[in-house]
Structure 1
Amino acid sequence: MSETKTTFLLADDHSLIRQGLVFMLEEIGSDYEILQATNLSQILETVKANEIDFAIIDAHFPDGNSLSILPKIKEINPNIKIMIFTGIDEATQSLKFINAGANGFLSKLSEEEEIKQAILRMLRYGQYISPVTQELLMSSMNNPQLINPLKSLTEREIEIAELYAKGLGNLEIASRLDLKQNTISTVKKRIFEKLNIENIVELAELIKNNHD
């Protein structure tokens, strides 16, 4: 590595997680400057104000999902390397973040040694793709709905899903689309099955995070 100091941004709304990462970076050793952020707006402010080399960012913050700001971070600093470090399920979520601009994705459930290796790979190669995500990337070349599960829905199903996500009920949707109420209920069941979800909250989150 070069003589210049490497600047890390550790972004998580839990101080224990940030502190754990600080200890890990100290164990890895080298000349690091460490900045911290606890929400999305702080992340963007810090990226604007500093020349950050590596960012380790959680997926969810009280003020939203970090998926929404990844393109903005890359716009501000195209050279920044971003690793998502999160408790959410890698098998269903990692491709969305990689697709949005992340260079790596790591589960908080990983063993300490794997976390260290992931950080080292980010430092050396600028990316960390776990075996799970590698497999998903290969599969997604033939199956785009792995990246965006909404692609499995028909246009009519997407239309109805979006109305549910806006808070409309069966009766209102049926009235708006001039369809029978039991037709809407049937479509809702099909949408939930296709997306493997159980409630409207999950549906709203999916729609928010997967719009092209």
Structure 2
Amino acid sequence: MSELNSASVNVLLADDHSLIRQGIVFLLEEMDWECEIFQASSLQQLMNSIQEHPIDIAIIDAHFPDGNSITIVPEIKKISPKTKILIFTGIEESTHSLKFLNAGADGFLSKLNEEEEIAEAIKKMYTHGSYISEVTQALLRNSISNPTLINPLLSLTERELQIAEMYAEGLGNLEIANRLDVKQNTVSTIKKRIFDKLKIENIVELIDLMKKHY
């Protein structure tokens, strides 16, 4: 692996699995960077590090036991605009990368990539300020003709969006059914359709999407 000479770089590794963090530490050592490495295993620790240290590159998993990191990407940018954020995760790039980039991340990288690609992504985060893989580049091109890739809520019908908003407000199936004067089963069916279209699994994820796109 080629060496990269650089000024001292502050790198934050945020992942709830210590083996993943250690793997990136080894990779940075092989790259022969002069860097100070900070580590976090939760969103709370991550935010503490951002507030306490001038972080140049934050390498962050998509999910933590205390939440989804997409919710704090805008907060990181607000606190430390110069920090470059690389989402490094095992979730599917083709269905998730654009929403993280749209939230403010500067790069998205799958943990399934080879070591060389991971090292290259980290280098590009420092030298170019971003890393966009070929997969995500293709998604960005497609999003021009298919805006739902950027704003998934555009895939919902007017009624689905109305019900999604009610769920986000904290209403349950029965309350929504009563308010719309429809059967509770109808609401449940539409809820499933909303989740399928948005590729989400729970109300928390729905609320996150509504905050970002509605």
What TM-score do the two structures reach when normalised by structure 2?
0.87
RMSD: 2.1
* Aligned with 2:83 (options 77, 80, 84): 80
Percent sequence identity over aligned pairs: 60
Q: Which moved more, 1:171-180 or 1:58-67?
A: 171-180
Aligned to 2:178: 175
In 2: Cα distance, 1:193 partner to 1:122 partner: 33
The answer to whether 1:204 aligns with 2:203 is yes
The CA deviation string for residues 51-82 of structure 1, in whole angstroms up to 9 with x for no partner, is: 11111000001111111111111111111111
Q: Which runs of 5+ in 1 are unaligned?
A: none
Secondary structure, in 3 states, of the residue corresponding to 1:141?
helix
SS in 2 for 1:79: coil
Which runs of structure 2 are paired with 1:125-140 in the superposition (5 Å)?
125-140=128-143
Give the Cα–Cα distance (whole angstroms) in 1 for the partners of residues 113 and 171 of structure 2.
Answer: 37
Partner amino acid, structure 1, of 2:102: N
One-letter amino acid of the counterpart of residue 158, structure 1: L
Q: How do 1:59-208 residues align onto structure 2 when only pairs under 5 Å count?
A: 59-163=62-166, 166=170, 168-169=172-173, 171-188=174-191, 190-195=193-198, 202-208=201-207
Distance 2:17 2:43 in 1: 13
1:33–1:140 CA distance, 2 compared to 1 (3 A): same
**Superimposed CA distance per residue, residues 138-182 of structure 1 (whole angstroms, 9 cap, x where no aligned partner):** 11122221123222112321232344564723x443222212345
Q: Secondary structure at the match of 1:102?
A: coil
The answer as to whether partners of 2:11 and 2:36 remain within 8 angstroms in 1 is yes
- Contact 1:52 1:80 (C-alpha < 8 Å) held by counterparts: yes
What SS does the aligned partner of 2:145 have?
Answer: coil
Q: TM-score, normalised by structure 1?
A: 0.88
The one-letter code of the counterpart of 1:62 is: P
Alpha-carbon deviations, 1:177-204, whole Å to 9, x = none? 212345435534543553356xxxx142
Change (3 A) 1:8 1:92: same
1:75-94 CA distance string (max 9 Å, x none): 11111111000011100100
AA of the residue aligned to 2:52: A
Instruction: Give the partner amino acid of 1:9.
Output: L
CA contact (8 A) 2:5 2:32 kept: no
Q: Aligned to 1:55, what secondary structure does the other structure show?
A: strand
User: Are residues 189 and 82 of structure 1, via their aligned partners in 2, closer, same or farther at CA, if it must alter by over 3 Å?
Assistant: closer
Whether the 8 Å contact between 2:43 and 2:69 is mirrored in structure 1 is yes
| Alpha carbons 1:161, 1:203 under 8 Å: kept | no
**Other structure's SS at 1:21 match:** helix
Distance 1:16 1:196, change over 3 A: closer
Distance (Å, rounded) in 2 between the aligned partners of 1:183 and 1:175: 11
AA aligned opposite 2:96: Q
